[in-house]
Amino acid sequence: MAQVSTVVHDAASVHAAIESRFSCRAFLRDKPVPRHIIAELLSLASRAPSGTNCQPWKVYVLQGASRDALADKVCAAHDAAYANPALAAENTEEYDYYPTQWKSPFIDRRRENGWGLYGLLGIAKGEKEKMHAQHQRNYRFFDAPVGLMFTVDRAMGRGSLLDYGSFLQNLMVAARAHGLHTCPQAAWNPFAKIILPLIGATADEMLVCGMSLGYADESALINTFHTPREPVSGFTHWLD
User: Hey, is 183 helix, strand or coil?
Assistant: strand
Does residue 199 lie in a domain region? yes
Does residue 235 lie in a domain region?
Answer: no
φ, ψ for residue 7, nearest 5 deg: -110, 130
73 within a domain of the structure (yes/no): yes
Write out the residue range of the structural domain in which residue 70 sits.
20-91+103-226
Residue 4 domain-assigned (yes or no):
no
What amino acid occupies position 158?
R
Under-70 pLDDT residues of the chain? 1
179-218 pLDDT tens trace: 999 999 999 999 999 999 999 999 999 999 999 999 999 9
Q: Does residue 8 fall inside a structural domain?
A: no
- pLDDT value for 1: 59
CATH number for the domain spanning 130: value is 3.40.109.10
- Give pLDDT, residue 23: 98
- Position 66 in a domain: yes
Q: Count how many domains the chain has.
A: 1
**Cβ neighbour number for residue 129 with a 10 Å cutoff:** 9
Q: What are 42-57's pLDDT values in tens digits?
A: 999 999 999 999 999 9
Q: Where are the alpha helices (DSSP H) in 84-154?
A: 106-120, 128-136
According to DSSP, the β-strands at 205-214 and 181-185 are: antiparallel
Look at residue 55 and tell me if it is in a domain.
yes
Look at residue 13 and tell me if it is in a domain: no
**Nearest CA to 95 among 200, 215, 203, 190?**
190
CA distance 35 to 40: 9
